[in-house]
Amino acid sequence: MLKLPQNVTTLLFGVLIVNVIGLWTVYLISQPVKKIILPSIIAQDKSESTLPTSPELVATESDKIAELKAQLDEISGAVATLGAEPQTVTRTITQTVSSSSAKEYVIYLGNGNTTSREWVEVEGTKTTINTANYPTIKNAEFQASLNIIGGEARARLKNKTTDAIFHDSEVMHNSSTTTWVSRANLFLHSGNNEYVVELRSTSGEIAQLEGARLRITVE
């Protein structure tokens, strides 16, 4: 076996090392670059992706809530005031003139309902009539729009000032179809009196007064 000199062996060994280093360098360069994300960077990205609560936004929402609460308090106060104040019912009086120069006044009384078999006053149908405002009354007619399912719905006019009942004014209806029924030739009491409509159900079913009115004809 041929034995190389010591200096030649050292030279060859050095060349081999250089070649190995060169090959390793080429290998590393040829590999794709991988991005390594450190835990500290991940934590930072997560913290940045979470939007902090803006003090201005919180203040704006608080202002809106306070404003809505103030409006609610104002509405509640208005409702309480309306509930405490007595209600004033305004009656509409319509005047018509016929060719015979007779004048007719229509006074709308209101509506309501009851299941009572006894006569009850219908709230909201009270009105004051002063006969001095209607000189030479020719006719007074009470009209009521009634309906009921089973039984009879009855209505009549009452002088609440004197508690006098206008028995001749009583009207009746016994159908679920709303119908106007009337009684004429009534004589209103002289002077200033408050009138109200009374209503009852003969069966205990709901007697509905859809509307009531008084027609006064004067000459």
**Domain contains 145:** yes
Report phi then psi at 16, rounded to 5: -60, -45
pLDDT digits (tens, 9 = 90+) for 30-78: 665 555 454 554 445 544 544 455 555 555 667 777 777 777 677 666 5
Report yes or no on 37 lying in a domain. Answer: no
Domain that holds residue 196: 93-218
**What three-state secondary structure class fits 118?**
coil
Is 138 part of any domain? yes
**Does 17 map to a domain?**
no
Question: What integer pLDDT is reported at residue 73 of this predicted model?
Answer: 73
Asked whether residue 44 is domain-assigned, the answer is no
pLDDT at residue 117 is higher than 60: yes
- In the chain, where does DSSP find H-type helix? 6-30, 39-49, 55-84
Does the residue 140 lie in any domain?
A: yes
Is 15 a domain residue? no
Residue 114: which of 189, 208, 183, 27 has the closest Cα? 208
- Across the chain, mean pLDDT equals 78
Number of structural domains found in the chain: 1
Q: What is the largest CA-CA distance in the chain?
A: 161
Predicted local distance difference test score (pLDDT) of residue 65: 76
The domain that holds 187 is classified in CATH as: 2.60.120.1340
Global pTM reads: 0.56
Residue 142 lies in a domain: yes
